[in-house]
Structure 1
Amino acid sequence: MANTYTSLFYHIVFSTKNRVPYIRAEIEQRVWEYMGGVARHHGATAVQIGGVDDHIHALTLSPPTLAPSQIAQHIKGETAKWIHETFPELRAFAWQEGFGAFTVSKSGVPAVVRYIQNQRVHHQKRDFQKEYLDFLRRHEVEYDERYLWG
């Protein structure tokens, strides 16, 4: 094949360390926008980013040279540094270790975008831990609960 063509959408999910509610509603838009800039800087497209006080969802379109682990590493590392510098009262802020990443087909993108946009409403009924377990089960990802919430 002379050229490489891809359509790689990843739904990446991770929480704040110990699910501490650091991402207050009054700063969340700035955080999501900064994350989108980090993704762009590293060659990915942030299709939709959002979440609630204790976790984020990032739907990205990525080139084949950028693994989901790299995207998560860049977003988490650079955003944590920016949060510490921009919001001194959040100097204890940290992300959890690890992340979840799930592939999304092009036809599934609109539904995932809506899901991310409606996080505040969605989490009035269900907490992050239940949501995350549902993702793992739906995608048949094996996990050990002893290491899930670190």
Structure 2
Amino acid sequence: MKPTHSIPDILKHIKANSSKWINDRQKIHGRFSWQAGYGIFSISESQLPHTIEYVGNQKQHHQRISFKEEFVGFLEKNGIQYDKKYLWE
């Protein structure tokens, strides 16, 4: 990502295009839409191989721990302050 790129603009583009792709192909029952918010985290280049492996194992990983549990754990592990009432819609 270039320093001139805006995270909100990139996320808007990703959400719009992925929603269209999912809905055009009827990948789920009903209409797909994203929640209003998002979380963005950066990694160093040295962590890229580990991150690729981590993303590739999501299906198995989330059989053991829910996304919500993992996300809150990540926030806490990294000392990120949050208010539970704003995390989930």
TM-score of the superposed pair, with normalisation by structure 1: 0.54
The correspondence of residues 1-150 of structure 1 with structure 2, limited to 5 A, is 62-87=1-26, 90-150=29-89
Q: Quick check: which one's strand share is greater?
A: 1
Q: Quick check: which one's helix share is greater?
A: 2
Deviation at 1:148, TM superposition (A): 0.6
Residues in 2 aligned to 1:130 and 1:89: alpha-carbon distance in whole angstroms: 24
Structure 2 segments unaligned to the other structure (5+ residues): none
Equivalenced residue count is 89
Higher relative contact order (CA 8 A, sep 6+): 1
1:80–1:95 CA contact under 8 A, matched in 2:
yes
Identity over aligned pairs, percent: 37
CA RMSD of aligned residues (A): 1.7
2:22–2:28 CA contact under 8 A, matched in 1:
no
